[in-house]
Amino acid sequence: MDPTFDEPGPHDYLTKTVGPAIAAGDLGPVDVVLVSHDEHPDNFDTAGRQVALGAPLLLTHPGAAARLGSPAVGLEPFEVFQLPGANAVTVQAVPAVHGPADGQRDAGGHVNCEVTGFVLSGAGLPTVYLSGDNASVAAVKTISERVGTVDVAVIFAGAARVPSKERGRPLTMTGQRAAAAAEVLGARLVIPAHVDGWKHFSEGVGEFGGAFDEAGLLGTLAVVPHGEWIVPSWL
């Protein structure tokens, strides 16, 4: 999801500080790419775009699909897409708000830009929530009401701040809001994402973990070095 494979350095108005954990060419075959939004380089950079458009299927929101073209398919909030193949994995698009609730909204009603999250599920498989750049606990509550509890929550956090946007207020989850979101979802396992590698992230893994500790949810948290697998003991 949201592939970024460029090397460190300036990317428009953002600065990347850490390169990819592995090279794009070392990924192996990719069946489907999920893109929360295509307009910000910290989620979708030049090399990541090449990887995504080279896959047989790319799922995103309608606006991004229109800009990207084939093989992108745009999903409205709570629209479901059944992945091809025998494993019967279902991808459901879910709401996301990329900034404060009172933030300036564009013509489509989106704060900062249109963004989608995803929920992956299937028979005999854990249910996985991928937040995308969402800052809204209210959106997570709506997802919980529609989808129910999830087994795994991959929460994009980092409290991303850009001085020229929303008075420098967080455009993504803070650690405290991520902990609240995880509690609402009833997640058994939480994996922080989008918490390092860019200068505009104001919180890292430490703040994320501290917030989960304060909320009594530290036992749900899984953090490993980039490029390593997380395998829950209950799988």
The pair of three-digit structure tokens given for residue 67, joined into one six-digit string: 């800009």
Q: Please report the pLDDT score of residue 87 as a whole number.
A: 75
Q: State pLDDT tens for residues 54-108.
A: 999 999 999 999 999 999 999 999 999 999 876 789 999 999 999 999 999 999 9
For each of the chain's 235 residues, which pLDDT tens digit applies? 999 999 999 998 999 999 999 999 998 999 999 999 999 999 999 999 999 999 999 999 999 999 999 999 999 999 999 998 767 899 999 999 999 999 999 999 999 999 999 999 999 999 999 999 999 999 999 999 999 999 999 999 999 999 999 999 999 999 999 999 999 999 999 999 999 999 999 999 999 999 999 999 999 999 999 889 888 887 7
Do residues 35 and 66 make contact, with C-beta atoms less than 8 angstroms apart?
no
- Record the pTM: 0.96
- The bridge status of strand 14-16 relative to strand 9-11 is antiparallel
Do residues 56 and 32 make contact, with C-beta atoms less than 8 angstroms apart?
yes
Task: Give the span between the Cα atoms of 220 and 184, in whole angstroms.
Answer: 13
Q: Residue 140: what are its φ and ψ, rounded to 5°?
A: -65, -40
Do residues 113 and 162 make contact, with C-beta atoms less than 8 angstroms apart?
no
Which residue ranges form the domains of the chain, and what is each CATH number? 76-220 (3.60.15.10)
Task: Give the span between the Cα atoms of 64 and 50, in whole angstroms.
Answer: 15
